[in-house]
């Protein structure tokens, strides 16, 4: 064979393998409103940057006539490329090849690219579109899943891991995304569940559609399994490209510094918050009033809306924001919001991203459902995450900071480096109404006009404690600031904390209340 012929032969083989499941299967994929695995990789990475490996890998199934079947690439594409000229590793399951089912070699390809990503300390993006385990390969496919989970865990907190759910992701397969840092879902395309609607109906008699059980909105609004919700694959890819600008490439680096921009203020920061503490506002407006270019990239926007988390930049550096949201459920802490914020705090801490906390929170949500759902152990996650974090931690108390919630929201006592309060801040063991009822119970009960006395005592308590000055007198707050000074104080305190060292006792690892 001449040299030229070998090259032509190679090209032919490549072309054939790149067809995946063939024209018909691709047509089906497109008819479902989905892009092909190859198109997806192309859409995420820089133009012409993708290099594929293991294109010629073949499956090893020898039972149930599998040996007669050719599955190109064994249903998954792996490779490396760049985003913003920085290297990333990526894999995409190809639903057109045997429904993207996971057999031994399919899993081996994924674990190979995972090992690369971890060794090279570059982010890993996984696109999931698979019918699940390849039943014909039996325990080999289970082995494959396990080997992926093990690597997800080892890479956790070392390199960013991003999961994109662009098709079914059911049974054991769901646990790889669950172990990664950020999960992206798309309306009508993503489906995630452990057991499908059919099984649920047979076993428990509960009737539910696939979309209602494990559709994209369910996971972004109810379960909290997904971090980003998009209406189309293209929107989803834009979200991935934006997220990646905020995070460092590995845990030994810092996020890329961007040019400094002033916030684009629509109104004065002190006009955002109503003076009457009973009235709600959107805390994201305060975040936008302090971030560069008023850019705030929210994470888990639809889940536990009573707390807001996400990234913004201050002086060009990525900051993780955690803020109570008075607009939803009065901004209370509960099981879901504690869980949501705690995991984000641990992300920021692992990847050297300073945390700014904005506090306006009336306490923990009362109720039997909360207590029985385990608000004690879920709430403890938040305390653990803040106390454990050694990145710079700055808190600004906007209005209410009551009781256990005051402690939990990155108080001085949990190791905050700087705590600022607006003059509207109320730092107390509980709200004036509740406190007056307890402290002045006797006076109120014995008064000629208890209602009048109660009102008077509430006012008395308010005057004395519903302000930032008692806490400031103990040094629990470093400075009471005017709202318009907030950005300047954040800039300064984050600059001062840039080389922060905060050693912790030697240990294998802590035991957070998972």
Binding site for another protein (CB under 8 A): 199, 202-206, 208, 212, 277-280, 326, 329-332, 362-363, 365-367, 369, 400, 431, 433
Nearer to another protein, 382 or 458 (CB): 458
Q: How far is the CB of 440 from another protein (least distance, A)?
A: 18
Instruction: Give whichever of 355 and 401 is closer to another protein, judged by the CB atom.
Output: 401
Residue 5 vs 278, nearer CB to another protein: 278
Of 400 and 412, which CB lies nearer to another protein in the complex structure? 400
Tell the smallest beta-carbon distance from residue 195 to another protein (Å).
8
Cβ distance to another protein smaller for residue 52 or 211: 211
Q: Is 428 left (phi over 0), alpha (psi -120 to 50) or beta?
A: beta
CB of 332: closest distance to another protein in angstroms? 5
Q: How far is the CB of 193 from another protein (least distance, A)?
A: 13
Q: How far is the CB of 37 from another protein (least distance, A)?
A: 29
Residues facing 364 on adjacent strands: 333
CB of 331 to another protein, least distance (A): 7
Could you list the beta-strand ranges (E) of 151-306.
161-170, 182-186, 191-193, 228-230, 296-299
**Using only C-alpha atoms, what is the Rg of the chain?**
26
CB of 270 to another protein, least distance (A): 20
Residue 156 class from Cβ within 10 Å (0-12 exposed, 13-18 middle, 19+ buried)? Answer: middle
Nearer to another protein, 59 or 191 (CB): 191
CA separation, residue 258 to residues 44, 182, 219, 224, 343 (Å) = 21, 22, 32, 30, 25
CB 201 within 8 A of CB 212: no
Read off φ and ψ for residue 284, nearest 5 degrees.
Answer: -65, -25
Cβ neighbour number for residue 218 with a 10 Å cutoff: 21
Q: How far is the CB of 206 from another protein (least distance, A)?
A: 5
**Segment (H or E) for 336:** helix 335-350
Q: Determine the Cα–Cα distance for residues 115 and 121; give it in Å rounded to an integer.
A: 10
Q: Smaller CB distance to another protein: residue 66 or 330?
A: 330
CB 106 within 8 A of CB 75: yes
Is the Cβ of residue 32 or residue 199 nearer to another protein in the bound state? 199
Q: Quick one: tokens of 457?
A: 């005592």
Nearest to 213 by CA among 203, 205, 223: 223
Nearest to 32 by CA among 132, 167, 164, 123: 167
Tokens linked to 3: 């040299």
């Amino acid at each position: 064979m001449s040299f030229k012929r070998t090259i032509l032969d190679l090209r032919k083989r490549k072309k054939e393998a790149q067809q995946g499941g063939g024209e018909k299967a691709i047509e089906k994929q497109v008819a479902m409103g989905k892009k092909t695995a190859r198109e997806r990789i192309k859409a995420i990475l820089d133009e012409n940057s993708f290099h594929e490996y293991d294109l010629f890998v073949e499956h090893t199934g020898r039972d149930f006539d599998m040996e007669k079947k050719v599955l190109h690439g064994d249903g998954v594409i792996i490779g490396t490329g760049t985003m913003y000229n920085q290297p990333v590793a990526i894999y995409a399951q190809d639903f057109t090849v045997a429904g993207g089912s996971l057999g031994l070699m399919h899993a081996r390809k994924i674990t190979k690219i995972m090992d690369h990503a971890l060794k090279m300390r570059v982010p890993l993006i996984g696109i999931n579109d698979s019918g699940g385990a390849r039943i014909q390969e039996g325990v080999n496919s289970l082995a494959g899943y396990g080997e992926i989970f093990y690597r997800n865990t080892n890479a956790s907190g070392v390199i960013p891991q991003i999961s994109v759910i662009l098709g079914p992701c059911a049974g054991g397969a769901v646990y790889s995304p669950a172990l990664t840092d950020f999960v992206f879902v798309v309306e009508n395309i993503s489906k995630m569940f452990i057991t499908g609607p059919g099984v649920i109906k047979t076993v428990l008699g509960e009737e539910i559609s696939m979309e209602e059980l494990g559709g994209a909105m369910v996971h972004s609004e109810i379960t909290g399994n997904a971090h980003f919700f998009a209406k189309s694959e293209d929107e989803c890819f834009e979200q991935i490209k934006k997220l990646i600008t905020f995070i460092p490439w590995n845990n030994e680096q810092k996020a890329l510094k961007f040019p400094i921009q002033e916030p684009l203020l629509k109104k004065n920061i002190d006009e955002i918050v109503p003076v009457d503490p009973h009235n709600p506002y959107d805390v994201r407006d305060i975040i936008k009033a302090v971030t560069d270019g008023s850019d705030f990239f929210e994470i888990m926007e639809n889940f536990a809306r009573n707390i807001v988390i996400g990234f913004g930049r201050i002086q060009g550096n990525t900051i993780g924001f955690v803020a109570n949201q008075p607009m939803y459920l009065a901004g209370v802490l509960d099981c879901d919001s504690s869980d949501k914020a705690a995991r984000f705090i641990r992300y920021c801490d692992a990847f050297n991203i300073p945390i700014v906390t904005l506090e306006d929170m009336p306490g923990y949500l009362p109720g039997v459902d909360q207590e029985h759902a385990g608000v004690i152990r879920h709430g403890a996650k938040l305390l653990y995450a803040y106390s454990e974090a050694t990145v710079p931690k700055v808190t600004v108390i906007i209005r209410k900071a009551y009781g256990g919630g005051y402690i939990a929201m990155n108080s001085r006592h949990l190791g905050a480096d700087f705590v600022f309060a607006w003059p509207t801040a109320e730092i107390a063991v509980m709200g004036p109404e509740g406190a007056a009822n307890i402290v002045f119970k006797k006076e109120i009960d014995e008064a000629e006009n208890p209602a009048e006395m109660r009102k008077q005592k509430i006012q008395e308590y308010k005057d004395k404690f519903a302000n930032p000055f008692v806490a400031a007198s103990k040094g629990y707050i470093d400075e009471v600031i005017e709202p318009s000074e907030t950005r300047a104080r954040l800039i300064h305190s984050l600059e001062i904390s840039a080389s922060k060292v905060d050693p912790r006792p030697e240990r294998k690892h802590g035991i957070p209340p998972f």
